[in-house]
Amino acid sequence: MARCQARFALCLTAILPCFASPAAAQDLAIPEVTYPSLPRQAQTAEGFVPLGWTLEVQSSGDLNRDGNPDLILVLRQNNPANVIEDFEGLGEKPFDTNPRILAIAFRDGLSGRFDLQLENHTLIPGRTEPVADDPFDKERGIAVVRDGFQVRLNWFMIAGGWETFNTTYTFRHRSGGFELIGYDRKETHRGSGDMTSLSINYLTRKVKKATGHISRDAEKTRWQTLPQGPVLTLEGVGDGLSFEPAL
């Protein structure tokens, strides 16, 4: 019964792209962004927030395995100039294009201060499509896992596209940097109902690919071994919505 309801809902949502895609095609002038340099040290999470920015997400966990709680922060600019109030076509109005910064700081056990380790502008991409949902969910976008953390991004368009997916990146602090140790992507085509998933464990080099359909519980699974290659880091991923792993 649940599968039938899900399939019916899928068909309804698929109608929107069909009728609305011509109107959704638009060229918006996205304001250019100048990113500030974050403080190298601070006593609190708020101490890393530059003027004109807000602390959108704060999470903590022992990321370097020294017994001290470290910080994972998502900062977002709060500039009215980056909010497009009105435009032709469909989509979120007003459309907030304010960018984000992902920052990580380690706590020093002796002084209690936090030392900045990472300042990234690309993994959580800026918004450019008013017909697409915000790819970063403040409630679920950051998760602390054992010896590491995850960043989750979503893609869903109310018009102009059939594809919806969510991607989860898992990072761990190793060799002085933040290495990508896990990649998971689940995709659904709202027109056909086809579902695909890709899961990569970079530590074991195991790759799982699965295909299925929203109307069925069963799926076909295929495994492969990832070829040897250079270690991927958070900085090397780039745009988290556009990244395509080498298989």
Q: How confident is the model at residue 24 (pLDDT cuts 50, 70, 90)?
A: very low
pTM above 0.75, yes or no: yes
Query: Mean pLDDT across the stretch 180-201?
Result: 97
**Non-local CB neighbours of 14 within 8 Å, separated by 6+ positions:** 162, 190, 191
Q: What is the CA angle 125-16-186, rounded to 5?
A: 45
The pLDDT value recorded for residue 88 is 86
Q: How confident is the model at residue 146 (pLDDT cuts 50, 70, 90)?
A: confident
Residue 65 has pLDDT above 90, yes or no: yes
The pLDDT value recorded for residue 87 is 87
The pLDDT value recorded for residue 28 is 85
The pLDDT value recorded for residue 5 is 40
Residue 111 has pLDDT above 50, yes or no: yes
Q: Which of 149, 225, 221, 161 is nearest to 190 (CA)?
A: 161
Radius of gyration of the chain (CA): 20
The pLDDT value recorded for residue 26 is 55
Query: Mean pLDDT across the stretch 107-121?
Result: 96
The pLDDT value recorded for residue 11 is 42
**Which comes out higher in pLDDT, residue 19 or 121?**
121
Residue 19 has pLDDT above 50, yes or no: no
Residue 6 has pLDDT above 70, yes or no: no
The pLDDT value recorded for residue 86 is 86
Query: Mean pLDDT across the stretch 129-153?
Result: 95
Q: What is the pLDDT of residues 75-103, one digit of tens each?
A: 999 999 999 998 888 899 999 999 999 99
Give the largest CA-CA distance in the chain: 61
Of all residues in the chain, what percent are helix, strand and coil, respectively (each to 5)?
15, 40, 45
Query: Mean pLDDT across the stretch 173-184?
Result: 95
Q: Which amino acid is at 89?
A: G
